[in-house]
Structure 1
Amino acid sequence: MDLFVIFLTGLTTGGLSCLAMQGGLLASVVANGKEQEHDAIVEKKQLKTEKNKKKYLKKLQDSNFSLQSFDQMDWLPVGMFLGAKLVSHTILGFLLGALGSAITLSLGVRLAFQVFTALFMFATAMNLLDAHPLFRFVAFQPPKFTQKMVRNSSKSKALFAPVVLGFLTIFIPCGVTQAMEVLAINTGNPAYGGLIMFSFVLGTMPLFAIIGVATAKLSEGWYTTFSKVTAYALIAMAVYSVNGVLIVANSPITLQKVAEPVTYFFSSERFASTPSAPMAKVVDGVQHVTIHILNQGYSPQYVKVQAGTPVELTLQSNNTYTCALAFILKEFDINTFLEATDTQTFAFTPMKPGKYTYTCSMGMYTGTLEVT
């Protein structure tokens, strides 16, 4: 694939997909940076009591006060986060091109890191809301040798945490990122593999930078309000992330399944006299099912097959560049990444009747395979 096309993919669908997956980490970087900055202000003013601290911060809010250092704290954490993300993904692309699929992460490991990210976002939210001193552990402290290298303590923190979180993004890739990783593997060339990941992540950076700096700018003089809004947004992102893991794992409890009775009650399907999906066609004793991988999801979204009869599942993509390319049907050990235009076939025999979810790696696009 042309590197410019890869860059454009990152600039468009890749940026949006990655923001949905990693936006919480970026929000955490900005929020923690602002909290540390305000703590430094309060400490400098030697405000010992909590009452005096709140009174001083309220004064800043009422006057829309802005320190000169705010400008630096707007772009520095975001820049370090994105820089670390770019470097880590370029290194990853180099390794993928050199070693191939031998170093790719398993589904279980990817889901574990996604859960870890959700827990981190939730803990950050609780820290911003001052729910309990325990949650202050999410404010990363740089090693002492790093603090000696960077004399200003607040600047040291501003450099350290975003770099750590930026590197961690390689463990929580969105579906489009995973598709780019497959391209890097298929090159068999370390240099070109690195260029693929570099071009893609570079394309995603403008959107991340705009969101990150804009968030920081909006927070000037409004720290208390910003903290609460960010905390609630992080909680929502954490719930969304965990729900995606539950969908991929075909858990009996997801937000969609909990809401299903309500959505079914108001749907036209409740009044339908015929099944919403026909049975798969049987040719020479094999059930043939074709699922089209589209930019907006999967078609069809509901498939019926007979238990005890072999199934041949064909996945087809055509100029698709979204998370849908990372296709997972966990119960039948199908976990694959398609190229933008690709066809892949899988064979399995369903034995246990039930409804099984097929989904992208983020749980964003889903469908149902019903075994009767």
Structure 2
Amino acid sequence: MAGTASCTAAQGGLLMGLVDHCHGRDPALVGWFLAGRLASYTTAGALLGLLGSAVSLPPAARAVLLVAAGLTVIVFAVRLMRRGHCAAAPEAGAPSRYKAPLLGAATILVPCGVTLGMEMIAISSGSPVAGAAAMAGFVLGTAPAFALLGYVLRRVSRTRLARLAGVVAIAAGLWTAGAGLTLGGWIGGTPPAASRPSPAAPGSGEQIVTVWATREGYRPAVVAARAGAPVEVVFKLVDRGCTGTVTIGGRDVALPATVRLPPQPKGSLRYVCGMGMYAGFIDFS
């Protein structure tokens, strides 16, 4: 259920590309979209199982792809809102049958929290068969939600609700792009002053801080630690979702986990969930 909700929200906007013209109302196009998604995820799972983390995208690259995906969804939404006259020749619909599987395959580039978790399972499997099976099973499990979304979009595109759907899609595109900017550290780089805790007591030994990953974000959002001393960050998982994978120090970590950091200078260290939705800070002082 968590995978269905988060991935449909993060990746479903690409379905807008199938309903912006009259030919996009063909129900078979949603099937081609799902087929492309299955093919790309299965291939990625096999590669991850065979080669491990060497073929996984670093957080910075995912951030760029999220921004690009958000802008693409916005373009699709604007085209949906501009409902034109359907008078194209029958053969004009042919290119859409190529676009549908390509859009479905492109969803692998728009990460959701559970997708990242499945990718780590594929990496740890050490087997291309097991990795492909894990990713393919995940896609098949979320396929009904994508099929339902495609049906709704095709129905809405024939009514005056298309403009409302376009507005919702624009909001989703802005949200996706914003998540990419957050993941890349281009916005939201400093914690609120009111949330800063008091500095930890001075000392020289290794210190331990605990962060709880919930559906609403990381709690506490800001933790204090001493600068110049090693620190262990214990991430405890409360709920499965986006926060189940954290990006800290330029790498992805599946939770629950303990992350050991070398001595840090004074200032704030920022970490985010794998989708760039939620951020937390360690305040070194």
When normalised by structure 1's length, the TM-score is 0.67
On the 8 A contact 2:213/2:237 being kept in 1, the answer is: yes
Root-mean-square deviation (Å): 2.9
Q: How many angstroms does 1:311 deviate by?
A: 2.2
CA distance in 2, matches of 1:293, 1:253: 19
Answering whether residue 171 of structure 2 is matched by residue 185 of structure 1, we say: no
Out of 8, 14, 23, the residue aligned to residue 37 of structure 1 is 23
| Counterpart contact for 1:21–1:241, Cα < 8 Å | yes
**Is the aligned partner of 1:172 residue 2:110?**
yes
Deviating more after overlay: 230-239 vs 206-215 = 230-239
Q: 1:300 aligns with which of 220, 230, 249?
A: 220
Deviation digits for residues 65-92 of structure 1, max 9, x if unmatched? Answer: xxxxx6xx1x222211111101210111
Partner deviation per Cα, 1:19-42 (whole Å, 9 max, x = no partner): 12112111332x22xx2439xxxx
TM-fit CA distance, 1:283:
6.7
AA matched with 2:132: G
Structure 1 unaligned regions, length at least 5: 1-11, 39-69, 131-150, 270-274
From 14, 19, 22, the counterpart of 2:8: 19
Unaligned runs of 5+ in 2: 83-88
Alignment partner, residue 206 of structure 1: 144
2:166 counterpart (221, 227, 231): 231
Q: Which secondary structure does the structure 1 equivalent of 2:23 belong to?
A: helix
Structure 1 residues 128, 305: closer, same or farther in 2, change over 3 A? same
Question: Higher helix proportion, which one?
Answer: 1
Question: Using the alignment, how far apart are the partners of 2:226 and 2:133 within structure 1?
Answer: 46
Indicate conservation of the 8 Å contact 1:281/1:288, yes or no: no
Instruction: Say whether residues 1:289 and 2:209 are aligned partners.
Output: yes
The one-letter code of the counterpart of 1:365 is: Y
Shift of 1:163: 0.8
AA partner of residue 280 (structure 2): G
Q: Is structure 2 residue 35 aligned with structure 1 residue 116?
A: no
Q: Which has the larger radius of gyration?
A: 1
Number of aligned residues: 280
Task: Supply the distance in 2 between the matched residues of 1:188 and 1:253 (Cα, whole angstroms).
Answer: 36
Which of residues 107, 111, 125 in structure 1 aligns to 2:59? 107
Q: Name whichever of 344-353 and 15-24 sits farther off.
A: 344-353
2:209 is aligned with 1:243:
no
Residues 312-367 of structure 1: CA distance to partner in whole angstroms, max 9, x if unpaired?
A: 2222336x5312122023xxx2422315xx4232213221424x432212222332
2:279 is the alignment partner of 1:344: no
Equivalent residue number for residue 90 of structure 1: 42
Would you say 1:353 and 2:267 are equivalent positions? yes
Deviations 1:196-230 (A, max 9, x none): 0111111111111112102212333x2xx244223
The one-letter code matched in structure 2 to 1:202 is L
The alpha-carbon distance between structure 1 residues 109 and 250, as it changes in their structure 2 partners (threshold 3 A), is closer
Aligned partner of 2:275 in structure 1 is 362
Identity %: 30
- The aligned counterpart of 1:145 is none
Contact 2:200/2:224, CA 8 A, preserved across alignment? yes
8 Å Cα contact 2:63/2:181 also seen in 1? no
Q: Say if 2:250 is the partner of 1:315.
A: no
Equivalent position SS for 2:261: strand
Q: Aligned partner of 1:336: which letter?
A: D
| Cα separation, 2, equivalents of 1:353 and 1:108 | 21
TM-score between both structures, scaled by the size of structure 2: 0.86
Instruction: Deviation per CA, 1:204-259: give whole Å up to 9, x if none.
Output: 11111112102212333x2xx244223322221121112112222333459x98xx
Q: Which moved more, 1:168-177 or 1:294-303?
A: 294-303
